[in-house]
Structure 1
Amino acid sequence: MHFPLTSYYIPYTLATLVPLVYAQTIGNVSPWPPGPGSSLVPQAPNSELTQILNEIDPSRIQATIQKLVSFGTRHTLSNQTDPVRGIGAARDWIASQMRTFAAASNGRMTVSVPSYIQQPVNGLVLQPTNISNIVATLTGTSEPNRVYVVSGHYDSRVTSILNFMDDAPGADDDASGVAVSMELARVMASHQSAATIMFAVVAGEEQDLFGSNFMATTLKQQGKDVQGMLNNDIVGSSTADDGTVDPNDIRMFVSGLPPSNTAAQNLNLASIGGENDSPAHQLGRFVAEVSQNTVTQMNVRAIYRPDRFLRGGDHESFLAQGFPAVRFTEPHENFAHQHQDVRVSNGVQFGDLIQFVDFNFTARVAKVNGAALWSLAQAPGTPKNVKIDTSVLTNNSTLSWTLDPKADAGYEVVWRETDEPQWSMVIPVGIVNSVTVNLSKDNVQMGVRAVGKNGFKSPAALPMPS
């Protein structure tokens, strides 16, 4: 059989099949025979990434959170001109710190404070209010338009969403997430990234995701190719309300059907069993693969829903624009320390106080983000226009995609049983834009990922029927 130079065929004959072996117990049969390829080995951090992760400093994270708490309140409606109290003082300090980090980048990192005036919203905003984000952008050396974002929000609140006068320390929600974004900006500023990384600190989250919506819509309007957004919101505590300590786990909330999809797009995705293979799910799989290792010392627990019940976060603004996004949140939340007036009631301390933050835990969460961000930005981009041929009935599967010159080590087909959460098998196919594998599309889920000569591999893309 002849195949064009841009195609590749994976032979899979009956001789390669491992026969079914019946177990001792009557009716108990071993799993399906293995298909083509080999077991997928998770990507490990290289020497540069290991250095980056080892530079993340818990004491720096502690100092950042302490400084943010010192502003008293960072409520969206609080004072914007007082130099020591309120959201304006916090904004100016964060921007100053980011500029200090950028000085080590030889011009690769720039800092901006994009702002707009939010008009009054019933029950949320009382008067026209300035909403300001702080963004440190490490511009990609070879693909500046391909963008990855890490973010935390710097506004805080107490019990009443309109109370902008009382102290709202916001140590965990969300000075912890801000500290993650700022620490990664500090550490990565002196490195060169192939794609662009944006270290964002956004405002107005507690009111209605104002800052992140402004950022996501702006990036969309600018035509930026945002291929991943990592939101860190409430990532400061490893202790449950019953005192149980869980220092090595982090939850990652992963949305299913994209909210930006039309009904027809969702039906098309559902028709091929792709509900668990949205771009956000592929991003989540990638994060889980590259961020669980001996350097981060963390387990990433993927939870397949957009967020916790009755809650939301800044990743939703990016999902709404069609960008893949996930949210990190500590494994066990103590609700006495969130959205509460600072007080003692019946012997219980309420309020989002710094005494409840575990700085070493937050540093490990930063390492999870750092491993994912750097691996994403150094790999080729997620393959585009990935298709699977459904024109004829066959037990083979033919996939195609658009060649990317940055995929200078070729492509891999990854696959898994449909009820498995992670890709489990991989088939290297070389620098081609089409491949036929003797693997039935009816039985498994498949994806295509790009590979760079530097060893970094992209998230996989689900093939859609051609």
Structure 2
Amino acid sequence: MKIIRPLTLLAFSATLSLQAAQPEYVDQPQLHDIAANVSAQRIEQDIEKLVSFGTRHTLSETESETRGIGAARRWIKAEFERISAACGNCLEVYYSSATISGEKRIPDPVEVVSVIAVQRGVSDPDRYVLMSGDIDSRVSDVMDATSDSPGANDNASGVAGTLEAARVLSQYRFNGSIVYAALSGEEQGLFGGKILAEQAAKDGWRLKAVLNNDMIGNIEGINGVINNTTARIFAEGTRQTETDREATIRRFTGGEVDSPSRNLARYIDLVADRYIPNLDTMVVYRLDRFGRGGHHRPFNDLGFPGVRIMETNENYVRQHQDLREENGIKYGDTIDGVNFDYAAKLTALNAVSLASMAWAPNPPAEVSIKGAVEPSTTLSWQALDKAQNPHLAGYKIYWRYTDAPQWQFSRFVGDVTEFTLENVVIDNYFFGVASVSKDGFESPVVFPGAAGAFGE
């Protein structure tokens, strides 16, 4: 097994120029390697296997070894266990489940079972980043649990991507922990995500990022566009758990576009620019598609940072459809509608983002800011735990114009807990702080106050 530790040294920058187009950044060769090691062929094989179960509807067959949701989840668990065996049992593989009943789409008691694999970090194992895909599939009638429902793109592609990310990343060791989650019950009401999110909160997981992958394989849109070079990252603004007092503070200090989910999305967007060839990501300032939802939402509901990563151009005749042909149009989510190279590209985006965050120190906590009616801006934060973050080099302050979508300027300030940007007026910019490792890995940027906090 190949075990690689980052060796690149960080070139610290003390440049304060407001003319810089982008902050200086240390390129990480091992992240390029991770992206290159994602296999479109293995993703194709996994999607074929998931499709072979006929239907993966949440209410479908559980006893058969060849058909239904039970067979599918047992195969996924066995696959995670094979991946773990190949890395010296580096994954903790288990079922996450609860019995659901009395719901509109689950009226009678049904055990909703997800498959979870955890790769423990070496210095900060209680800090987590998570990638997920959805096991279940459906046809036109959301209660039809018997008809063939291949669910090739929605969402065998997301599960296959999660399995492939586990194969690649399990060959490395990280400071923080990585969770690979195949979630069930999505089409019936996001139940797999709700169960895991509630358990994570109960167990005190320091969950810094949820990357929900729901449909990552289609490149032919219902709008006639064929495009394999773009992807969307959906990220909510004001967090669901905001209190009335926090809302009042945000009204006067900002933060509507700087929730931890939004800064997670900015982080992934920069990862795409730096490490994923021929991919441009679109950060969408919305929880999900218009009026719709996905499995990141239960995590957002509890205050965890989470985003949805998916294709840019959806094809609705391939989503939630009975298999049929009408007026020359083929309906149904079949495997011929999946572009495996594109699914591999979005999987690589996930894998590199997870690795970068897991190698980086914990995001700064208790970030605060002051500078009203002053010529300069001062930021302060809580020192990171050195036992959890032995690779910490220090902190980098970021700022941008208030209408800019991405961070524009930065300054590495060293291993301190307060720094003043002289003659940088607080009213004219948004600010944040990231932690930086000795190898040059950076955490997501943390906006000051409760609006932007990633937690402890």
Distance change in 2, residues 1:294/1:37 (3 Å) = closer
Are 2:431 and 1:449 aligned?
no
TM-score, normalised relative to structure 2: 0.92
The separation in 1 between residues aligned to 2:433 and 2:383, in whole angstroms, is 12
Q: Is the 8 A contact 1:417 1:443 kept in 2?
A: yes
The correspondence for 2:298, drawn from 312, 317, 321, is 317
**Corresponding letter in the other structure for 1:145:** D
Are 2:164 and 1:180 aligned?
no
SS class of match (1:442): helix
The correspondence for 1:92, drawn from 59, 69, 74, is 74
2:409 equivalent in structure 1: 425
Per-residue deviation, 1:126: 3.1
Q: How does 1:50-449 map to 2 (within 5 A)?
A: 50-122=32-104, 124-293=105-274, 295-389=276-370, 393-404=373-384, 405=386, 406=389, 408-438=392-422, 439-449=424-434
Per-residue deviation, 1:315: 0.5
CA deviations over 1:162-193 (Å, ceiling 9, x no partner): 10010111001000110110100111112111
Per-residue deviation, 1:323: 0.6
The separation in 2 between residues aligned to 1:281 and 1:295, in whole angstroms, is 20
Q: Is the 8 A contact 1:37 1:427 kept in 2?
A: no
The separation in 2 between residues aligned to 1:39 and 1:179, in whole angstroms, is 34
The separation in 2 between residues aligned to 1:146 and 1:161, in whole angstroms, is 36
Per-residue deviation, 1:464: 2.8
Per-residue deviation, 1:244: 2.7
- Greater shift, 254-263 or 198-207, is seen at 254-263
Q: Is the 8 A contact 2:233 2:282 kept in 1?
A: yes
Per-residue deviation, 1:37: 7.8
The separation in 2 between residues aligned to 1:152 and 1:91, in whole angstroms, is 12
5+ residue gaps, structure 2, are: 1-13, 451-456
CA deviations over 1:151-172 (Å, ceiling 9, x no partner): 0001000111110010111001
SS class of match (1:185): helix
Distance change in 2, residues 1:11/1:125 (3 Å) = closer
The separation in 1 between residues aligned to 2:282 and 2:445, in whole angstroms, is 19
Q: Is the 8 A contact 2:132 2:212 kept in 1?
A: yes
Distance change in 2, residues 1:242/1:280 (3 Å) = closer
The separation in 1 between residues aligned to 2:323 and 2:21, in whole angstroms, is 55
After superposition, the CA RMSD in angstroms is 1.8
The separation in 2 between residues aligned to 1:205 and 1:294, in whole angstroms, is 31
TM-score, normalised relative to structure 1: 0.90
**Corresponding letter in the other structure for 1:395:** P
Per-residue deviation, 1:120: 2.8
SS class of match (1:292): helix
Per-residue deviation, 1:90: 0.2
Are 2:447 and 1:462 aligned?
yes
SS class of match (1:386): strand
Q: Is the 8 A contact 2:32 2:275 kept in 1?
A: no
Distance change in 2, residues 1:386/1:309 (3 Å) = same
SS class of match (2:255): coil
Distance change in 2, residues 1:393/1:120 (3 Å) = same
The separation in 2 between residues aligned to 1:355 and 1:38, in whole angstroms, is 42
Per-residue deviation, 1:110: 1.5
The separation in 2 between residues aligned to 1:343 and 1:402, in whole angstroms, is 59
The separation in 2 between residues aligned to 1:313 and 1:296, in whole angstroms, is 27
Per-residue deviation, 1:36: 8.9
2:29 equivalent in structure 1: 47
Distance change in 2, residues 1:306/1:11 (3 Å) = closer
- Greater shift, 454-463 or 292-301, is seen at 292-301
The separation in 1 between residues aligned to 2:15 and 2:197, in whole angstroms, is 45
**Corresponding letter in the other structure for 2:213:** N
Per-residue deviation, 1:294: 5.2
Larger radius of gyration: 1
Distance change in 2, residues 1:408/1:42 (3 Å) = closer
Runs of 4 or more off by more than 4 Å in structure 1? none
Per-residue deviation, 1:409: 1.3
The separation in 1 between residues aligned to 2:135 and 2:26, in whole angstroms, is 33
Q: Is the 8 A contact 1:288 1:302 kept in 2?
A: yes
The separation in 2 between residues aligned to 1:441 and 1:226, in whole angstroms, is 30
% same residue? 36
The separation in 2 between residues aligned to 1:448 and 1:177, in whole angstroms, is 32
Q: Is the 8 A contact 2:22 2:407 kept in 1?
A: no
**Corresponding letter in the other structure for 2:324:** R
- Greater shift, 111-120 or 252-261, is seen at 111-120
5+ residue gaps, structure 1, are: 1-9, 13-33
Number of aligned positions between the proteins? 433
SS class of match (2:392): coil
Per-residue deviation, 1:381: 1.1
